[in-house]
């Protein structure tokens, strides 16, 4: 018996195409380079049609950033945590995150940070994203260090996120230098292992 494959509607395909074009433009030209008119022209649609999906430039940029910030969380969710080998699990998690941030996708983190400096909309987007990440990291900590009280796990999650944030920005400056990125992954992994073992 054949399973039915869910087909995307034309509207879903159009929305994805708009987001993909905006993502490329955001990476290549930054926030100020985003133009709804240029995206519409590139896709062969009217500006009005584009605005049916994304009424404003900020609606579109926000949607792109939300999609990008979900990717590292999904990556963490795919890791199989081995309670008998936390070192391997931690290195796999940190390695996956650092490799992700070393790619062009890592620039979205810096773009969101800069937008959040000046615009309340992006301040909220950043806060919501961090709340989601912190919640996820706390759950991972409870798997790796189940003896930690909830309050301590929360504090440790904040420290780990701060460590990974800083490393993520450094990775962007080290793009193209694979040795430097690998070294940073090892150092960040070691620091996280040390924190997990010595957090009281």
pLDDT digit string (tens) for 19-77?
999 999 998 998 999 999 999 999 999 999 999 999 999 999 999 988 888 888 788 77
The highest-level CATH class for domain 58-198 is mainly alpha
The highest-level CATH class for domain 8-55 is mainly alpha
The pLDDT of residue 6: 57
The tokens of 59 are what? Answer: 């609606």
Segments making up each domain of the chain, as ranges: 8-55, 58-198
> Greater confidence, 54 or 150?
54
> How far are the Cα atoms of 93, 119, 164 from residue 97, in angstroms, in the given order?
6, 27, 8
164/162 Cα distance (integer angstroms)? 6
On the CB side of 179, CA atoms within 13 Å amount to 0
pTM of the complete model beyond 0.95 = no
The pLDDT of residue 5: 54
Do the domains at 8-55 and 58-198 have one common CATH topology?
A: no
107/113 Cα distance (integer angstroms)? 10
DSSP 84: T
């Amino acid at each position: 018996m054949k399973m039915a494959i869910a087909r995307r509607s034309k509207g879903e395909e159009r929305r994805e195409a708009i987001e993909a074009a905006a993502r490329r433009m955001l990476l290549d030209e930054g926030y100020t380079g985003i133009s709804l008119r240029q995206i519409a022209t590139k896709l062969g649609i009217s500006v009005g049609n584009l605005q049916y999906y994304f009424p404003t430039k900020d609606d579109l940029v926000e949607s792109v950033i939300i999609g990008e910030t979900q990717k590292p969380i999904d990556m963490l969710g795919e890791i199989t945590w081995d309670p008998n080998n936390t070192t391997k699990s931690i290195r796999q998690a940190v390695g996956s995150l650092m490799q992700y941030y070393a790619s062009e996708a890592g620039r979205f983190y810096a773009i969101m940070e800069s937008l959040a400096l000046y615009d309340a909309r992006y301040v909220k987007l950043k806060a919501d994203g961090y709340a989601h990440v912190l919640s996820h990291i706390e759950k991972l900590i409870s798997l790796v260090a189940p003896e930690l009280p909830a309050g301590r796990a929360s504090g440790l999650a904040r420290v780990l996120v701060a460590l990974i944030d800083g490393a993520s920005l450094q990775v962007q400056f080290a793009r193209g230098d694979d040795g430097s990125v690998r070294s940073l992954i090892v150092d960040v992994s070691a620091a996280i292992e040390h924190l997990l073992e010595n957090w009281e």
